[in-house]
């Protein structure tokens, strides 16, 4: 059986703005039907990567394939196969939710049913409401509806739940899970790590223009990053810490040596956020060191 080609394939992706390198050789694949999260701090290169894959921005080097097409050369038939939910939209406020979606549905060869989409994003009771009269979170749901109305094979979600309350976020997650069950490939960017953990098959962490790790949510950072940390104060009151796979044994030994439980004792099991922040911190520090070294050589 011939293997299914990846929905997205990127090799040595680069983007420069003058002397500034926004992307410095990024590689990854996204399998067909996979939900893939691209994580990173502001300015890391996430938006540049997404815009290149959407065909909005030209790359400086490397190769990119999206649904088998170079996105920079994608025509209307290719564009009809992708859906995009941007961080902000420019939707018309003078039409109703249903009117807006009906108009956009006519641009696609196999659109979803308008009323089904409106219900799926939780706006059934607002279908006749003009968009200008919606709250910020409700407008964001319109953005999502516009992204999925064309029944895309690949859906780009750029910070999709910004402005959602907790209940709305969970309703949105169910919508995304439903799209995944239908076989939609999803590329997600989010600052909510719990959202990435809930929705993604794999995540990639990008920092300082480089991909610093990629894998399942519970595997990024490697096994060492998940080793618990024991913190305490010694008999002189000095802070101490030690990583160990056996924190209970270490605490028992310290208690025996100190004649009781150490002061300010903590056993910390690194969370996804801890691991993510550590990866970003190391990558940013390495990039700063490399930039300083290069500046020194030029001087």
Quick one: how far is CA 298 from the chain centroid? 36
Q: What is the pLDDT of residue 294?
A: 52
Find tokens 């605490």 and name the residue: 251
Q: In the predicted model, is pLDDT for residue 283 greater than 90?
A: no
pLDDT digits (tens, 9 = 90+) for 107-135: 998 899 999 999 888 899 999 999 999 98
- Phi, then psi, of 106 in degrees rounded to 5: -75, -10
Q: Which domains does the chain have, with CATH numbers?
A: 8-215 (3.40.50.300), 223-298 (no CATH)
Structure tokens at 143: 């953005």
Q: Model's pTM, two decimal places?
A: 0.82
- Alpha carbons 114 and 172: distance in angstroms, whole number: 17
Residues paired with residue 268 on neighbouring β-strands, in sequence order: 229
Lowest mean pLDDT: which of 38-42, 73-77, 88-92, 243-247? 88-92
pLDDT for position 138: 84
pLDDT tens, position by position, 149-174: 999 999 999 888 876 778 878 888 88
What integer pLDDT is reported at residue 2 of this predicted model? 63
Report which of 35, 10, 5, 3 is spatially closest to residue 185, judged by C-alpha positions.
Answer: 35
Tokens of 274: 């801890």
Structure-derived torsion over alpha carbons of residues 272, 175, 81, 126, reported in degrees to the nearest 10: -130
pLDDT digits (tens, 9 = 90+) for 53-87: 999 999 999 999 999 999 999 999 999 999 998 87
Which tokens in the block code for residue 201?
Answer: 């098959």
């Amino acid at each position: 059986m011939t293997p299914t080609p990846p929905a997205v394939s990127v090799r040595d992706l680069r983007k420069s703005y003058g002397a500034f390198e926004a992307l410095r050789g990024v590689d990854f694949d996204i399998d067909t039907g996979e939900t893939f999260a691209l994580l990173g701090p502001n300015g890391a290169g996430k938006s540049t990567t997404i815009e290149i894959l959407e065909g909005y921005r030209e790359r400086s080097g490397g190769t990119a394939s999206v649904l088998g097409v170079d996105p920079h050369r994608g025509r209307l038939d290719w564009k009809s196969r992708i859906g995009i939910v941007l961080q902000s939209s420019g939707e018309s406020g003078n039409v109703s939710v249903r009117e807006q979606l009906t108009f956009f549905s006519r641009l696609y060869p196999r659109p979803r049913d308008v009323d089904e989409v409106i219900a799926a994003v939780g706006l059934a009771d607002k279908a006749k409401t003009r968009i200008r009269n919606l709250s910020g979170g409700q407008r964001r749901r319109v953005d999502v509806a516009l992204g999925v109305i064309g029944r895309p094979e690949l859906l780009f979600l750029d910070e999709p739940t910004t402005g959602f309350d907790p209940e709305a976020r969970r309703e949105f997650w169910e919508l995304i899970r439903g799209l995944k069950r239908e076989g939609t490939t999803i590329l997600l960017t989010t600052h909510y790590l719990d959202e990435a953990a809930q929705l993604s098959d794999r995540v990639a962490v990008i920092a300082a223009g480089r991909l610093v790790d990629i894998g399942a949510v519970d595997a990024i950072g490697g096994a060492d990053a998940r080793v618990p940390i024991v913190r305490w104060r010694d008999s002189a009151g000095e802070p101490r810490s030690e990583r160990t796979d056996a924190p209970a044994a270490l605490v028992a030994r310290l208690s025996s040596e100190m004649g009781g439980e150490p002061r300010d004792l903590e056993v910390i099991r690194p969370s996804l956020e801890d691991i993510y922040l550590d990866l970003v911190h190391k990558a940013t520090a390495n990039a700063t060191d490399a930039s300083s070294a290069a500046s020194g050589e030029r001087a």
